[in-house]
Structure 1
Amino acid sequence: MAKPSYLTAPRKSANLPKGIPYIVGNEAAERFSYYGMRTILVIFMTQYLKNAHGELSPMTDAEAKVWYHDFMAWAYFFPILGAILSDAFLGKYRTIIGLSIVYCLGHLALALDETRTGLTVGLSLIAIGAGGIKPCVTAHVGDQFGASNNHLLSKVFGWFYWSINFGAFISTLLTPYLLNQYGPHWAFGIPGILMFLATIVFWLGRRQFVHIPAGGKTFFKETFSPEGLRAMGKLVGLYVFIIIFWSVYEQNGSAWVLQAKKMDLNWAGVEWLPSQIQAINPILVLIYIPLFTYVLYPAVNKIFTLNPLRKIGIGMFLTVPAVLVIAWIESQLIAGKTPTIAWQLLAYVFMTAAEVMIYQTGLELSYTQSPNSMKSIIMSFYLLTISAGNKL
């Protein structure tokens, strides 16, 4: 019998799985590419978009917001496609590699074509690629661990999440500068190059990864089994509230950027670009997660039990001051004043705190309340709340 090319079960080892550095490196580069592209979308559509004759033909602010949120909705709808392809047909590795190539082609279209045609093709391919790999990558991390090294899993997820936010922070600062100084070709091209490198890094790790075979028909039987349907039913009510949160939160990539264009962008001795302000979000996430986990949550638990539903409730409450700050800024702009961009930073302080309390808690509940055979599909349904929030 021929020896299989790839591992299908974790090695018996107390050490870190050999494939993990490839996954973390891939994720950092992929998140750089995604957030770098997303950060400049609204500015590109309202200031740089051209027609078929090469003449400037920008969108209105209202039209750009519609395009932005439609893209986001599709990007968080396609995780369902990725979960089905991965768990039923192709397995995680082949799904991630195949959709990463689609993802790269989307970046290429944006970098080469500054018209609505290039925008449509590019965003469509990126939505399919980025969305499709989302539920697969996290589950692929878990597949690498066995009983002998499972104690390292939480530490690796910490590195994994850190890599996401580090990539997001760097790209959110860099790509607006590239767009302003060198134009769309470089601003979209650099994220595309990073996505290509992310794909190569992941491919290089193929011999080190554990490849769990796809489930085939078993996947569909388990998904629509009584246990599977009960798991989904328990989470539906929670997801309704989370959809409302995302409908508010996702404005920071569109309405908040357009608002920043009208504000005084000189702050802390630096002249910021409107879309660069979004970089405060990943930095706050990196600060808040250890702060909440090791300081805030233990302190609150001494007063009352901070269960997952209470965390989500507090998170929903924290969105209110963020919205009030943004509304106050808008009233000042309407009155003819030019408030400092520091006011938006205050809104980010509240909104990012809400994000950490709601997103992380919802992620945990979705994972723990779903059967082992359904974790990818349940995670894709959780990501669907972001899609629905963008359509509200």
Structure 2
Amino acid sequence: MSSPVTPAPQGPMPRQIRYIIGNEACERFSFYGMRNILVPFLISSVLLGYLPEGSEREAMAKDVFHTFVIGVYFFPLLGGWLSDRFFGKYNTVLWFSLIYCAGHACLALFEGHRTGFYTGLFLIALGSGGIKPLVVSFCGDQFDQSNKDKAKLVFDAFYWIINFGSFFASLFAPLLLRNFGPAVAFGVPGVLMFIATVIFWMGRKQYVNVPPSGNDPDSFLSVIRTALRERRAGQGNAGTLVAWGGIAVAALMLVLWALKAVGVGLAWWPDSFGFVITACLALGVLIAFGGWGASLQLERARGRHPDAAVDGVRAVLRILIVFALVTPFWSLFDQKASTWIIQGNAMVVPHEQWWWPSWLVKEPAQMQALNPLLVMLLIPFNNLVLYPLLRRLGFVVTALRRMGWGIAISGASWVVAGVLQLWIDGGAEVSLAWQSLPYLLLTFGEVLVSATALEFAYSQAPHAMKGVIMAFWYLTSTFGSLWVLLTNAGVRNDGFKAMIVQTGLSEPAFLMFFFAAFAFMAALAFALYARRYPMQDNYRVAT
């Protein structure tokens, strides 16, 4: 006689979740509100008044914006480390949120003071980046086996609230800048960030606080160190030499930057390679050479660490190659808040057309609201219509295929943007409504790449390495903006400028087609690597 099946417990929704969701709604509005007006503000502000109006000022505004984005997606490494090793998620989120608020205050108070304003950008990058890897996982900590069925509803609400906040911030922040000036336009997001912090603090007595894990002897870096240090009789140390070579190259880059900064003449080291570009390149060299070297000697870590930890590191190293091939996508995506706004400023807002919502959309920067709106529409369309249709037609819709096509489609969006730029350069009055088409293609690419990449990485990485994967995922945006800064630096080179002139294209049109080609090459490389990628399945076994 079989025993009756005990139904799974259906615990209640944790009451403290409302504080976390409320915090996320206000924080996302504050972030996208300031981010989406940063470039148009800088172009017209006294902060860049030392540059002539036109392409030079626009290029510098792009540099400032993408340097800020680099910081936002680099500092999750710091926030995650402090949380895991010392302070726990709640304390780390609260303290970084206060730094975040201070940054907003600097933007509002120092709109005409270069040092004060840039300090504000640094503090926002530090605060936003510091909490970025923690809020979602802190939300997950509030659930246990009794109510884990409610977690999916909350994570869906998280994704929805991010796009909800981005949509309204993209619509209204440019209007605040237009009608009330930068102090109000940056001040309102600051007020919302303060409200977000207060809401988060209000739930302090109800939260489940998982203590920091401290020093894990079998962590990702611990296994890497063991693999590189372990010596085996009769075996060479090629991996160690590769890793040390990467360290030497990275250190040399930083030394060359420092010498250039103090006035030492180094004609062959580019003047435009400032600290941010140099530091990001050095970080990329460390990751690439360190990962390559470790992969050559990884088996030496067995015995010193559990097999699961060693296999997990190898899985992460394979995923890093996938992530590296995704970075060109982010170089295209994040330019919708810089290059595409600049292009929109040269287009005509079709107020005279009956179908144009003139009562609401008055500024080119507001076109960014299309992105979160389309995300909320395209995700259910893909899941309910497109993917089932492709499966019925016999196409296997794997995660890697979706990501590869997403990169290629993002490249197509920049071909369309380049064609629009050719019309503008030819003297035509181009309606701003035409930007809807590249926004549609870019957002479709985003849904295929971004949402799929997290699903892919989660399935490929063992449980103990999932936090490491999230840290590296955020770095893909950092390196995406690095490619933009490198391209902008190249454009300032006389030889590169001469080459652009020979093509007969304007600088904006050339760069748009350049980034499109960059994405297509990345998509091809991605497809070739995906064909030999050994898929894993590391979802946990149901209990």
* TM-score normalised according to structure 1 size: 0.92
1:292-303 to 2 correspondences below 5 Å = 292-302=382-392, 303=394
Equivalent residues of 1:88, 1:220 under 8 A apart: no
Q: Deviations over 1:253-291 (max 9, x none)?
A: 100000000101125141520211101101001111111
Taking only aligned residues, the RMSD between alpha carbons, in angstroms, comes to: 1.9
Q: 1-side partners of 2:97 and 2:149: how far apart?
A: 30
Equivalent residues of 1:265, 1:272 under 8 A apart: yes
What SS is found at the alignment partner of 1:86? helix
Residue in structure 2 matched with residue 62 of structure 1 by the alignment: 59
Q: Deviations over 1:323-343 (max 9, x none)?
A: 111001110111111211111
Residue in structure 2 matched with residue 390 of structure 1 by the alignment: 481
Residue in structure 2 matched with residue 116 of structure 1 by the alignment: 114
What SS is found at the alignment partner of 1:180? helix
The answer to whether 1:159 aligns with 2:157 is: yes
Residue in structure 1 matched with residue 68 of structure 2 by the alignment: 71
Structure 1 residues 181 and 380: CA distance shift in structure 2, 3 A? same
Residue in structure 2 matched with residue 377 of structure 1 by the alignment: 468
Residue in structure 2 matched with residue 198 of structure 1 by the alignment: 196
* Higher Cα radius of gyration: 2
Equivalent residues of 1:35, 1:172 under 8 A apart: yes
Q: Deviations over 1:63-88 (max 9, x none)?
A: 11111111101110111111111111
What SS is found at the alignment partner of 2:13? coil
Q: For residue 346 of structure 2, what is the amino acid of its counterpart?
A: K
Residue in structure 1 matched with residue 347 of structure 2 by the alignment: 263
Q: For residue 124 of structure 1, what is the amino acid of its counterpart?
A: F
1:329-348 to 2 correspondences below 5 Å = 329-348=420-439
Deviates more, 1:315-324 or 1:345-354: 315-324
Residue in structure 2 matched with residue 240 of structure 1 by the alignment: 324
Q: 2-side partners of 1:38 and 1:269: how far apart?
A: 23
Residue in structure 2 matched with residue 44 of structure 1 by the alignment: 41
What SS is found at the alignment partner of 1:106? helix
Residue in structure 2 matched with residue 131 of structure 1 by the alignment: 129
The number of aligned residues is: 379
What SS is found at the alignment partner of 2:430? coil
Structure 1 residues 376 and 34: CA distance shift in structure 2, 3 A? same
Report deviation, 1:163.
0.6
More relative contact order, 1 or 2 (CA 8 Å, 6+ apart): 1
Structure 1 unaligned residues grouped into runs of 5+: 1-11
Q: For residue 459 of structure 2, what is the amino acid of its counterpart?
A: T
1:182-331 to 2 correspondences below 5 Å = 182-218=180-216, 221=219, 223-225=221-223, 226-266=310-350, 268-270=356-358, 272-302=362-392, 303-331=394-422
Structure 1 residues 96 and 379: CA distance shift in structure 2, 3 A? same
Report deviation, 1:22.
0.9
Residue in structure 1 matched with residue 510 of structure 2 by the alignment: none
Structure 1 residues 286 and 150: CA distance shift in structure 2, 3 A? same
What SS is found at the alignment partner of 2:134? helix
Residue in structure 2 matched with residue 5 of structure 1 by the alignment: none
Which of 65, 85, 88 pairs up with 1:88? Answer: 85
Equivalent residues of 2:331, 2:481 under 8 A apart: yes
Report deviation, 1:220.
6.9
Report deviation, 1:19.
1.7
Report deviation, 1:224.
3.0
Identity within the alignment, %: 42
Report deviation, 1:49.
3.3
